[in-house]
Structure 1
């Protein structure tokens, strides 16, 4: 009877240890997933910032070219007067 009780206690103890291990690994996996998600968000933010800066640069270049064309037309009109 004592051996059976000790066996049952041992079985329950092993079960709880396995549950704690599973919980620990689930927490580890969750932490890794959160970290990966944060890394992906950082990369997405960096890509968005880079795209924004590229668009701003392209817009400034287009504006400068348009201003140059306007100035060239003005000079041509003024030189014909």
Structure 2
């Protein structure tokens, strides 16, 4: 009976560990996705600012005519 109980407890511990690992992996994946989206947004903002700057330079130098 003791070996069955030990085997059962080992199985329970394994299942708990696997569930925790899965949850941690999911959280890491979500964090990575969020970081990716933040970087894409920052890149888009930088592109827009660069375009606005070029438009201002063109306007100031008369190159947009």
Deviations 1:12-54 (A, max 9, x none): xxxxx01000000000000000000000000000000000000
The number of residue pairs the alignment matches comes to 64
Name stretches of at least 5 consecutive residues in structure 1 with no aligned partner: 1-16
What's the RMSD between the two structures over aligned residues?
1.5
TM-score with structure 1 setting the length? 0.76
TM-score with structure 2 setting the length? 0.94
Q: Which has the higher contact order (CA 8 A, sep 6+)?
A: 2
Return structure 1 stretches of 4+ with deviation > 4 angstroms. Answer: none
Structure possessing the higher radius of gyration over alpha carbons: 1
Name stretches of at least 5 consecutive residues in structure 2 with no aligned partner: none
